[in-house]
Structure 1
Amino acid sequence: MGDMDDGGWEVCDDPEVRPVPPCIIYSYGTGKDWTFDEDVSRLYGCHVFAFDPSLDLQRHDRTPLIHFYPWGVSGTTRTNSKGWQMYTMEEIKGLLGHKDKTIDIVKMDIESSEWTAVPQMLSSGALKGVKQLYIEYHVTSATNNREGLKTIQAVERDGWKKFYVRKNFHCMRKQRDFPVKRTSCYEVMYMKAQN
């Protein structure tokens, strides 16, 4: 679903996890690419709640099924140094009245904030009732690789199974003392058939 070049995500369409109305999708990190949100809302008839504090947009309904909020997701609720309002996923679910609702897909492309957001999601139980989880992991020189590995292992220990992994070639970089270019972004799609 979405742009095949960048911004697209592989949706698992197996019957036990396929979004079926009334379905809910959280799309963290929309950027200027709405193709994923548009495709999943059109194909599955889901309400997509799109979040991105970096866009200069107010809260609005982009379509009858796509609802935009200028919030970010993080490991703590705060206003960050850029003036962006950040919430935990648990708080976002509460603000939207979704605490006891099934969330069919959580998609996250949040530019390294996943390293604080995901551990909090796991420890708080915010992922309970989520069927599919898509994360773009950003590995940069500022990433603590040991803590990052612990986060990825914690996702898998929580019962999430990878069904698709790909490198995002839009994040290519040359690493000093390494002979070839590498990517710093890895998109991992997980599913959880039973919650």
Structure 2
Amino acid sequence: MALLCATPNYWDEPTDSQFNPWHVLMYWWWYFPPSFQCPHDIQRVGPISDGGKWICGMSLYEEKPRASCVIYSFGINHETHFEGEMLDRTDCEIFAYDASVSDMGPDVEGRPRVHFKPYFIGKKDKVDDHGVVWKTLKSLMKENGHDWIDILKVDIEGSEFPTFDAIMDDFGEVLPFSQLQMELHVREDFISFPNFLKWWERLESKGVYPWWTELNLNPIYSGQRAWASEYCFINVRGGKKNLLIQNQV
């Protein structure tokens, strides 16, 4: 009771400007738990550490023919255990992008069905002052001749918020992927809590819901707050393009 009296503004309908979830009993992430369930089998692909992902319906991808299985991966940084295992277990084709490296990691380098370009994904197409190429998801899919992505993997160190705002602007009410594997970074210099809440609600309004979350503990080990967390999302839209909802359409 003493603690509650000492911080009344956090419990008496605080305004957005007053509210800071880092300073109350619950961490930021506790306000955004998984709200959905994967309707298929769930399997870990990659290591039980940073870089591994929980995949919804992995057995479905293992059964799919190569021509219709597409993975986009943004943010490589030579950590390609996930991509390597997907190549081993499926006939999926992988399109990977990261302008911070000149090639991919040893798990996939030189293997068939892998396409890599040193680009950053962003909110518009441009070449910046350092000569770095930025492309929107819409432009990359057009260049590759794709209208749907089975698995979209994103780890772009805080740039996910403006990037996904652009994706939602470009694609309207049906975002072009079956599932999204994305690490979210909520450091105060990246995004405020009110803006994150609006961004999250907008993503859910497009039919994209979280079904799994996994806290990244690396910041904690270095004495920081837990500002990064892996989220797995499923898209409930897309009709017959979306393998994960075929028994629902």
**TMscore range, shorter length:** 0.7 to 0.9
State the 1:82 CA deviation.
4.4
Q: Which consecutive residues of structure 1, in runs of 5 or more, have no partner in the other structure?
A: 175-180
State the 1:191 CA deviation.
0.8
Contact 1:25 1:47 in 2 (8 A): yes
- Normalising by structure 2, we get a TM-score of 0.68
Structure-2 separation of matches of 1:115 and 1:83: 23
Tell me: higher relative CO, structure 1 or 2? Use CA pairs within 8 A at least 6 residues apart: 1
The sequence identity of aligned pairs, in percent, is 26
State the 1:2 CA deviation.
1.4
What code does the residue aligned with 1:124 have? D
Structure-2 separation of matches of 1:12 and 1:120: 25
Question: Residue 110 of structure 1 corresponds to which residue in structure 2?
Answer: 156
Structure-2 separation of matches of 1:184 and 1:83: 30
Residue 185 of structure 1 pairs with residue 228 of structure 2: yes
State the 1:14 CA deviation.
6.8
Structure-2 separation of matches of 1:128 and 1:115: 15
Structure-1 separation of matches of 2:181 and 2:203: 11
Structure-1 separation of matches of 2:237 and 2:102: 38
Q: Taking structure 1 as reference, are residues 36 and 82 closer, same or farther at Cα in structure 2, changes over 3 Å only?
A: farther
State the 1:194 CA deviation.
3.5
State the 1:97 CA deviation.
1.5
* 1:66 aligned to which of 110, 114, 127: 114
* 1:78 aligned to which of 85, 109, 126: 126
Q: Taking structure 1 as reference, are residues 193 and 157 closer, same or farther at Cα in structure 2, changes over 3 Å only?
A: closer
State the 1:50 CA deviation.
1.0
State the 1:124 CA deviation.
0.7
Structure-1 separation of matches of 2:205 and 2:151: 19
What code does the residue aligned with 2:145 have? G
Question: Residue 25 of structure 2 corresponds to which residue in structure 1?
Answer: none
Q: Compute the RMSD of aligned alpha carbons.
A: 2.2
Contact 1:37 1:50 in 2 (8 A): no
Q: By percentage of residues, which structure has more helix?
A: 2
Structure-2 separation of matches of 1:7 and 1:39: 11
Structure-1 separation of matches of 2:236 and 2:188: 35
Q: Which consecutive residues of structure 2, in runs of 5 or more, have no partner in the other structure?
A: 1-44, 239-249
* 1:88 aligned to which of 136, 152, 161: 136
Higher mean C-alpha displacement, 62-71 vs 73-82:
73-82
Q: How many residues align?
A: 184
Question: Residue 49 of structure 2 corresponds to which residue in structure 1?
Answer: 5
Q: By percentage of residues, which structure has more strand?
A: 1
Structure-2 separation of matches of 1:24 and 1:171: 32
4+ runs deviating over 6 angstroms:
none
Question: Residue 177 of structure 1 corresponds to which residue in structure 2?
Answer: none
- Look at both structures and tell me which one has the larger radius of gyration over its CA atoms: 2
Q: Taking structure 1 as reference, are residues 161 and 81 closer, same or farther at Cα in structure 2, changes over 3 Å only?
A: same
Q: Taking structure 1 as reference, are residues 166 and 82 closer, same or farther at Cα in structure 2, changes over 3 Å only?
A: farther
Matches within 5 A, 1:99-178: 100=147, 102-125=148-171, 128-145=175-192, 146-172=194-220, 174=223
